[in-house]
Amino acid sequence: MHRFAYCLVTAALAGAGQAAAATLTLSCTALGAEADLCREAADRWSAETGHTVEIVHPPQSASEQLALYQQLLAAESPDIDVLQIDVIWPGILGPHLLDLSGRVDPDILSAHAPALLAGVQRGDAVLALPWFVDAGVLYYRADLLDQHVYDVPSTWQELTETAAAIQEAERAAGNDRFWGFVWQGRAYEGLTCNALEWIASFGGGTVVDADGSITLANDAAAAALDLAASWVGTISPPGVLNYTEEDARAVFQSGDALFMRNWPYAFALAQGPDSPIAEGVAVAVLPAGGPDGNPAATLGGGLIAVSRYSRHPDEAVALATFLTSPEEQRRRAIAGSYAPTYPDLYGDAELVAAVPFLGLFGDTLASVVARPAAVTGGYYNEVSSIFYGAVHAVLSGAQSGQAALADARAELIRLSRGGSW
Ligand code: GLC
């Protein structure tokens, strides 16, 4: 039924557009296989509609992407019609995004997971369409754990010990570039995601809670950061302080690391035909803070939005609808292990058989934690940069966990004028 409704909407819009072919600019990120997936989708839509799509890729770091989008949109530039945005940005970019309610079939909207749909709604407005859902996972070398007779770690402490032992053994066996654990430690949005996982899994909260209270300065959070700081230069390369997702993947995928924290996209690539670790790679839920703790996976993902300054809003909405359709999400799941935003697709036996990762990912989705983007609204980017700045200071040895979090708390209080966002 959804498929039928979607076809009707697409056909109507395609028919409407055919009178005058438009040229649209689509901005999509180019992490891993994304550039190819984006081009293929745009080509399919062009072939169906007769419109042309030019693709641009923003910088790889989420923080730099946001800065670029803010600049373009603040200038009301019509240069980009359709843009991939991060799940944490509707509150920040909202005033520049076309309201899609009334423009997209309501059956399609309500087919997305309710929590993901809620993330793109502001009152009655729909600011973007869910495209894929991300959550942090632990990649590991099952072949090396077997060889050295270790279990998949269930706590961060256990990960620290296993990583150190196998790193030492692998180096002794001749791979002197081998590291225990790679992750995203550069001072940017990706570090906010990693650090939130450590802290939330230690029971240290989510920086700002759902009521807007600043919770980040506490003993559990400080202990989590102090443990992470102990990894730098021991089980993680000193360069991890400048790693984004792709830097971590480069080390892990070339066979030089035992564990990696990353998003689902890395799974399809690590298992790809030219991956030297294709046979040995496996994925698990991230570790818990302690034996009684729970794991936490930061919720991320991509949305497709339409710029209010587009000169072709109807065609742009049709392209956004096509990109986020169940058919496209299915294709991206199979080709790139991108997790769909439609719960129905997880019940699709053929899809789950083709992408076993999706079955494993179900456990991770049960332990997601959201960044405080909704509650801090337009302040989120400042909140995140204060947070990752403090975390980076601890990781680089400039401050203790306690001291850095106390300073960050004071900054957040100033920013929020006492806690009212
Ligand atoms: C991924 C996530 C996104 C997050 C970013 C951080 O792209 O989908 O939500 O903000 O990584 O690097």
- Distance (Å, whole) CA 353 – CA 342: 17
Residue 1 lies in a domain: no
- Least trusted range by pLDDT, from 71-85, 257-271, 361-375: 361-375
> For residue 154, how far is its CA from the centre of ligand 1 (angstroms)?
24
Q: Rounded mean pLDDT of the chain?
A: 94
> For residue 108, how far is its CA from the centre of ligand 1 (angstroms)?
24
Probe target for ligand 1 pocket from 88, 263, 299, 332, with the most ligand atoms within 8 Å of CB: 263
Q: Are residues 285 and 149 in the same domain?
A: yes
Q: Are residues 107 and 206 in the same domain?
A: no
Residue 75 lies in a domain: yes
Q: Are residues 23 and 125 in the same domain?
A: yes
- Least trusted range by pLDDT, from 17-21, 76-80, 232-236, 247-251: 17-21
Q: Are residues 353 and 383 in the same domain?
A: no
Q: Are residues 271 and 226 in the same domain?
A: yes
Q: Are residues 69 and 146 in the same domain?
A: no
Residue 40 lies in a domain: yes
> For residue 261, how far is its CA from the centre of ligand 1 (angstroms)?
13
pLDDT tens for residues 54-89? 999 999 899 999 999 999 999 999 999 999 999 999
> For residue 301, how far is its CA from the centre of ligand 1 (angstroms)?
6
> For residue 87, how far is its CA from the centre of ligand 1 (angstroms)?
8
> For residue 62, how far is its CA from the centre of ligand 1 (angstroms)?
6
Q: Are residues 149 and 219 in the same domain?
A: yes
* 417 band by pLDDT with thresholds 50, 70 and 90: confident
Probe target for ligand 1 pocket from 83, 86, 92, with the most ligand atoms within 8 Å of CB: 86
Residue 328 lies in a domain: yes
The last residue of a domain, from among 319, 334, 358: 358
The answer to whether the beta carbons of residues 291 and 155 sit under 8 Å apart is: yes
Q: Are residues 261 and 336 in the same domain?
A: no
* 366 band by pLDDT with thresholds 50, 70 and 90: confident
* 362 band by pLDDT with thresholds 50, 70 and 90: confident
Probe target for ligand 1 pocket from 87, 193, 303, 383, with the most ligand atoms within 8 Å of CB: 193
Close Cβ partners of 397 (under 8 Å, ≥ 6 residues apart): 229, 232
The answer to whether the beta carbons of residues 291 and 200 sit under 8 Å apart is: no
- Least trusted range by pLDDT, from 128-142, 238-252, 404-418: 404-418
Q: Which atom of ligand 1 is nearest to the CA of 245?
A: 12
* 284 band by pLDDT with thresholds 50, 70 and 90: very high
Q: Are residues 59 and 119 in the same domain?
A: yes
The last residue of a domain, from among 358, 382, 401: 358
> For residue 147, how far is its CA from the centre of ligand 1 (angstroms)?
33
Q: Which atom of ligand 1 is nearest to the CA of 299?
A: 9
Residue 421 lies in a domain: no
Q: Are residues 249 and 316 in the same domain?
A: no
Phi, psi values for residue 56, rounded to 5°? -125, 150
- Which residue's alpha carbon is nearest to atom 4 within ligand 1? 300
CA angle 204, 259, 180 (to 5 degrees): 95
DSSP H helices, 94-155, are: 106-111, 114-120, 142-148
User: Among 106, 68, 109, 63, which Cα is nearest to 86's?
Assistant: 63
Domain that holds residue 349: 6-134+299-358
The last residue of a domain, from among 312, 328, 358: 358
* 293 band by pLDDT with thresholds 50, 70 and 90: confident
Residue 420 lies in a domain: no
- Which residue's alpha carbon is nearest to atom 9 within ligand 1? 300
Q: Are residues 11 and 159 in the same domain?
A: no
The answer to whether the beta carbons of residues 82 and 320 sit under 8 Å apart is: yes
Give the count of domains, the chain. 2
Q: Are residues 44 and 182 in the same domain?
A: no
Q: Which atom of ligand 1 is nearest to the CA of 298?
A: 9
Residue 353 lies in a domain: yes
State the CB neighbour count (10 A cutoff) for residue 231.
23
CATH code of the domain covering residue 398: 3.40.190.10
Q: Between the CA atoms of 410, 411, 415 and 421, what dihedral angle is there, to the nearest 10 degrees?
A: -60
> For residue 116, how far is its CA from the centre of ligand 1 (angstroms)?
15
- Distance (Å, whole) CA 396 – CA 384: 18
pLDDT at position 19 over 70: no
Q: Which atom of ligand 1 is nearest to the CA of 301?
A: 8
Residue 241 DSSP one-character state: G
Residues at CB less than 6 angstroms from ligand 1: 62, 86-88, 134, 189-190, 193, 245, 263, 300-302
- Which residue's alpha carbon is nearest to atom 3 within ligand 1? 300
Residue 346 lies in a domain: yes
- Which residue's alpha carbon is nearest to atom 7 within ligand 1? 301
